[in-house]
């Protein structure tokens, strides 16, 4: 028995020695090694070839180093935060030209008609961008943005219309807003129809349908709520009509108006974040969900790669988080938390939705000045 034990010990030592001297096997493909990192503005499903191609776009974008944006949405403190983050991380400066949307559109049209291609990018309402598309000032972009190829991560498709010239970056709604210092809880309007009651006469502000898209969305509800011509005529008489929605929001915030009709969830959120005493009333017929802020790449943009890179970034997890946290708006991606302030959040499940056909109706109404004439606005 003792000789067997000694023999077993000798064999064990030999085996251990052989194993220790054997060459090491290559690591398994199922090892815990960290995954290959993709370019910052691609998606997890992007192929290696696409990643390499996108890296070239990013390199070219950094060399261009600039975007000239005619913008409605990249304004105020939220816009400053977004622009600063993008420049700090990617080295691309976004120079902004702001103003009344209709004025910006006319300037772009005039420049393009004269063969001057100055601006790269424009963001505004769907109807405003559609007007630029009709003028031939935009070009297809959706298929050139890898971050939107996986449609399953979005609540609604970023591509607003069939050829992908208009793309939308967030959810947006329109409703009635009130100043919480002037309107007591429970006394806010409960219906769109209530706005023509005499108790609100002289206490309301709204954006002019001749220069701003904010209020004109409610005209689409004419078909859904059976609001007749007399309704709009009365509303025009009882309200102060201002050039833009921002003017209306500012008057409401300063306490110079009780109600803001056709209040934009995007604009209201940014003002609430800055301390404005604004809260949304939710009419029983529901608020209105639009396509959100839409954007276009302008034709013959002088900084095409930087513009494409920025537009794609707006749909990435990082971009959606940064932009919507800065603005306090509802993200388009399902995997980004909604930072909208409670007082101006929209119950999207109750909202009347506006589709592209509605936008075509709105554009026609705006160009023919149907609503402005009805409301007595020149």
- Residues recorded for the chain: 378
pTM attached to this predicted model: 0.72
According to DSSP, the residues that pair with 294 across neighbouring strands are 124, 168
- Regarding predicted confidence, which is higher, 177 or 329? 177
- Rounded Cα gap, residues 143 and 74, in angstroms: 24
Write down the pLDDT at residue 101: 87
Average pLDDT, the chain: 84
Q: Is the torsion defined by CA of 96, 101, 103, 108 positive or negative?
A: positive
Please name each of the domains of the chain with its CATH number: 50-171+292-349 (3.40.190.10), 172-290+350-374 (3.40.190.10)
Cβ-count burial 244-274 (b if 16+ within 10 Å, e if not): bbbbbbbbbbeeebbbbbbbbbbbbbbbbbe
Give 33's pLDDT tier (boundaries 50, 70, 90). Answer: very low
Q: Is the torsion defined by CA of 49, 306, 131, 285 positive or negative?
A: positive
SS3 232: helix
Nearest of 347, 17, 375 to residue 175 by alpha carbon: 347
Give 212's pLDDT tier (boundaries 50, 70, 90). Answer: low
Give 37's pLDDT tier (boundaries 50, 70, 90). Answer: very low
pLDDT at 107 over 90: yes
DSSP structure string for 194-241: GGGSGGGTTSEEEE-TTT-STTTHHHHHHHHH---HHHHHHHHHHEEE
Residue 289, both tokens: 């969900």
Q: Could you give the angle at the alpha carbon of 101 between the alpha carbons of 140 and 85, nearest 5°?
A: 70
- Rounded Cα gap, residues 356 and 348, in angstroms: 18
Per-residue pLDDT reduced to its tens digit, 58-85: 999 999 999 999 998 899 899 999 999 9
CA distances from 18 to 3, 4, 13, 27, 54 (A): 23, 21, 9, 20, 50
Tell me the average pLDDT across 333-340.
93
Write down the pLDDT at residue 12: 45
CB 298 within 8 A of CB 121: yes
Write down the pLDDT at residue 277: 97
Write down the pLDDT at residue 62: 97
Look-up: residue for tokens 């399953």? 152
Rounded to 5 degrees, φ, ψ at 152 are -70, -20
- Rounded Cα gap, residues 190 and 237, in angstroms: 20
- Rounded Cα gap, residues 178 and 278, in angstroms: 6
Distance from the Cα of residue 264 to its chain's centroid = 12
SS3 93: strand
Write down the pLDDT at residue 16: 39
Tell me the average pLDDT across 36-41.
41
Per-residue pLDDT reduced to its tens digit, 162-196: 899 999 988 888 999 999 999 998 999 999 999 99
Tell me the average pLDDT across 212-217.
68
pLDDT at 46 over 80: no
CB 341 within 8 A of CB 260: no
Rounded to 5 degrees, φ, ψ at 298 are -75, 150
User: Percent of the chain scored above 70 by pLDDT?
Assistant: 85
User: Which of 62-71, 109-118, 143-152, 284-293 has the least mean pLDDT?
Assistant: 284-293
User: Percent of the chain scored above 90 by pLDDT?
Assistant: 57
Give 49's pLDDT tier (boundaries 50, 70, 90). Answer: low
Residue 179, both tokens: 């100043």
Q: Is the torsion defined by CA of 218, 221, 225, 228 positive or negative?
A: positive
Neighbouring C-beta atoms of residue 302, cutoff 10 Å = 15
Write down the pLDDT at residue 72: 87
| Top mean-pLDDT range of 32-36, 256-260, 325-329 | 256-260
User: Which of 95-99, 246-250, 361-365 has the least mean pLDDT?
Assistant: 361-365
Per-residue pLDDT reduced to its tens digit, 280-319: 999 999 998 876 788 999 999 999 999 999 999 999 999 9
H/E stretch holding 273 reads: helix 265-273
């Amino acid at each position: 028995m003792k000789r067997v034990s000694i023999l077993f010990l000798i064999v064990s030592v030999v085996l251990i020695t052989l194993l220790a001297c054997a060459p090491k096997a290559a690591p398994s493909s199922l090892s815990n090694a960290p995954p290959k990192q993709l370019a910052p503005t691609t998606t997890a499903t992007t192929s290696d070839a696409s990643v390499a191609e996108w890296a070239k776009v990013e390199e070219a974008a950094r060399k261009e180093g600039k975007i000239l944006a005619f913008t409605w949405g990249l304004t105020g403190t939220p816009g400053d935060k977004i622009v600063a983050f993008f420049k700090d991380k990617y080295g691309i400066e976004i120079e902004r030209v702001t103003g009344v949307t209709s004025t910006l559109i006319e300037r772009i049209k005039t420049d393009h008609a004269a063969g001057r291609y100055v601006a790269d990018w424009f963001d505004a309402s769907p109807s405003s961008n559609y007007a630029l598309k009709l003028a031939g000032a935009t070009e297809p972009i959706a298929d050139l943005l890898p971050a939107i190829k996986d449609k399953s991560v979005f609540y609604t498709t970023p591509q607003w219309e069939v050829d992908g010239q208009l793309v939308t970056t967030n959810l947006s709604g329109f409703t009635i807003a009130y100043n919480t210092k002037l309107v007591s809880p429970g006394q806010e309007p409960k219906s769109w129809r209530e706005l023509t009651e005499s108790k609100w006469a002289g206490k309301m502000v709204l954006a002019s349908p001749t220069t701003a898209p904010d209020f004109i969305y409610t005209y689409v509800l004419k078909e859904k709520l059976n609001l007749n011509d007399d309704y709009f005529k009365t509303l025009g008489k009882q309200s102060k009509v201002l050039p833009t929605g921002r003017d209306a929001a500012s008057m409401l915030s300063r306490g110079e108006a009780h109600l803001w009709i056709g209040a934009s969830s995007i604009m209201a959120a940014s003002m609430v974040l800055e301390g404005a005493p604004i809260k949304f009333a939710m009419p029983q017929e529901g608020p209105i969900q639009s396509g959100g802020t839409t954007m276009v790449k302008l034709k013959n943009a002088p900084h095409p790669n930087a513009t494409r890179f920025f537009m794609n970034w707006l749909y990435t997890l990082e971009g959606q988080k940064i932009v919507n946290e800065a603005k306090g708006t509802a993200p388009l991606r399902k995997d980004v938390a909604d930072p909208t302030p409670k007082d101006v959040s929209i119950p999207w499940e109750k909202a009347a939705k506006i589709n592209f056909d509605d936008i075509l109706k709105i554009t026609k109404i705006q160009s023919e000045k149907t609503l402005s004439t009805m409301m007595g606005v020149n």
